[in-house]
Structure formats: C-alpha cells, structure tokens
Amino acid sequence: MPLHKIAGHRSVLDLLARALARDTLLPTLLFVGPEGVGKRRVALTLAQAINCQTRTAAVPGRGASPLEACGTCENCQRIERGVHGDVLVVEPGESGAITIDQVRDVVDRASYRPFEGRKRVVVIDEAEMLGPDAQNALLKTLEEPPGASMFVLVSSRPDVLLPTVRSRCPRLRFGRLSAAEVTDTLVHDHGYAEADARAAAASADGSIGRALGADSTSVAQARDVASRALQTATASADPKRRLESAKELVAKSKKKGAPAADREALALRLRAMTSLLRDVGLVLSGGNDAGLANADLGSEVMKLADRYDGDRVVRAFSAVDRALGALMARNASPKVVADWLVLQL
C-alpha cells in the first residue's frame, strides 16, 4: 500500500518518507503508540517503499510522500501477502511470547544478503512480548545491523523492553486515529459498508484493531475452515470431491456479503492455509514440533503430512500464493479462485 493511502499519522509518515528519499533511514527503529492504530501496517508499507521495483517520486498536488511504493509490482504484492523472502515479520506465537529461537532465526537470516529485494526488513511486532533472553539475543544485531538489513520493533508497551534495547532503537510515536480515519480504513481496506464502519469506529477509541476486534473470532474460524478444506481436498483425487472443499472455502462470511468482504474472508482463510502448509513442510523436513505455528492443530498437520511429500507441498504453497495474488491484486471472484485452488492442492 502506498504511504499516502495510510490513514492518519501524517507527521510520522512524512518523516519516514523524507528519510527514505535522502537515504538517511536509520537501520533500527522502535514504533510506539496505542494498540491497533496501524504501526505494523506502516512498518510493512515502509518495507514496500524500500523494496518496490518501480517506486515513484511524489505525485504533485496530492500531498504525496517523496517516495511511494507502487503497490502493484511483484515485490509490493509479495510483501502485502506476507510471502516476500526479505521482509520478515516476527510476532508472538501460541505461547504468547516471542521466543529466543524466533529471534535467533531472524538474526541469522538477516546476516545474509537480501535475495529478492533491496533490503531485508525485519518487523518485530508486539516487541514487548520478547523475554529478556530473546532481547539479549537481539542486542548485538541492533547495535550493528548487517548492512542490507533494517529492524523495526513495534510496541504499544515499550517501557517493558530492556533499557539496552530501547537505547539502541530511536522511537517514532504514533497517536490515536480520529473516528473518521478509522471509518475510512474499515471501508477501504476491510470492505465494511459505510454505516457499519461508522458504528464500529464509534466505540473503537481511535484503534482500527479494536474496531476489527469485534471480529476477533474470525481468525480462528478461518483456520478451522482452511484445515478442513485441506483435508477434504487431499483426501481424494476425484475432482468432484475436491470441489466440495472449495464450497467450504467460499462460504459466506457473516458480514453482509459485500464482494470486498467475501474476498477478505477468503483471503483470511488462504493465509491460514499458507501457515498450515508451511507447518506441513516443516514436519516433512523433520522439523521440531515446537516450531509449528499451528502446534495446537498438531494431529491435523500430521494427517496432512502423511498425504504430502516435499514437492507437492511446495507446489500447494505456491498455488495458494497465486490464488491470494489473483484475489487481492486482480479482484478475481472468490468462487473461481477457490475452485481453481482446490484442484492444485
């Protein structure tokens, strides 16, 4: 998403855009501010602006930033879908904490040169969930980040971070959004109808996260649906049976059935599917169960691992990626996308 499309936070965005244009962006930053106001969104948008293949100068008269991600090139889209190899997001897992292993993994990966983009961007979301050990494992890297890497820590409770970590990451402060800005984001980025958006924004206290939180069960439901659809699709080679699982995938969400909301609901399920397939790949490569993102669905993941081999899981993973691309970038119909996808799994 181009910077100028982000709701609110003008001064932070201007500052980042200027630094980008002058190539003076600091390699470690700490984004602080209330929960759910879009800090992570801004970090990912920054990653897009850095890695965009066709980024452009300001659009005159639009008050646009000096540098803009196009939002449509391969890099921008892959970052948007969360599958770009150089933009790594670390966040708390099932245990609620960010583990030292997660930190070591990104520190290790950050030491290599980026392989698809200009710069590797590591976003550590809910950084306050890093335990002291995990923070200590980060320290050296924050002190001397590898040349082509940058680290953005995101936190609504920065004061619980170790002083040594805080002192190495200059802060950018995010404020609450206005109700109008929340409404706008719900309509444009989440497919809400105007009236619903206004109602949700009214009680959200300037936080998009809170407005959406009314819907927080949807993520868990999406994962259940994705898991069932994968089981059905892989249980039989019969195309008719497989198409049954597509029906499940596109089942209407409770939210009004606006086309954008249906696409959003399918996208949520496909992202959950990506995560499940990543776990299947991990099991197949002999990985440790503790590293599974969906460890609580362990038996489902194991059942899938029995049906897949390494090549097939890679093909399935890239099919889900293409399906997400068609859905998000080209506005394809959810039904067409789901029907195509289940035959590729």
Note the residues at the interface with Zn ion (CB under 5 A).
52, 69-70, 73, 76
What single letter denotes the amino acid at residue 203? S
Cβ distance to Zn ion smaller for residue 75 or 234:
75
From CA 173, how far away is CA 219, in angstroms rounded? 28
Task: Tell me how far, at minimum, the Cβ of 75 lies from Zn ion, in Å.
Answer: 6
The structure tokens 């991990």 sit at 282
Cβ distance to Zn ion smaller for residue 70 or 258:
70
Task: Tell me how far, at minimum, the Cβ of 17 lies from Zn ion, in Å.
Answer: 15
Task: Tell me how far, at minimum, the Cβ of 319 lies from Zn ion, in Å.
Answer: 23
Whether 152 and 119 have beta carbons less than 8 Å apart is answered as no
Cβ distance to Zn ion smaller for residue 75 or 253:
75
Cβ distance to Zn ion smaller for residue 52 or 282:
52
Token couple for 88? 């790594």
Residues 6+ apart with CB under 8 A from 157: 128
Please state the length of the chain.
Answer: 345
What single letter denotes the amino acid at residue 79? I
Task: Tell me how far, at minimum, the Cβ of 9 lies from Zn ion, in Å.
Answer: 21
Whether 318 and 275 have beta carbons less than 8 Å apart is answered as no
For residue 94, give the 3-state DSSP assignment: coil
Cβ distance to Zn ion smaller for residue 70 or 193:
70
From CA 36, how far away is CA 41, in angstroms rounded? 10
- Residue 134: Cβ within 10 Å count: 21
Tell me the CA distances in angstroms from 210 to 29, 97, 247, 327, one per residue in order. Answer: 24, 21, 30, 26
Task: Tell me how far, at minimum, the Cβ of 79 lies from Zn ion, in Å.
Answer: 9
Cβ distance to Zn ion smaller for residue 73 or 332:
73
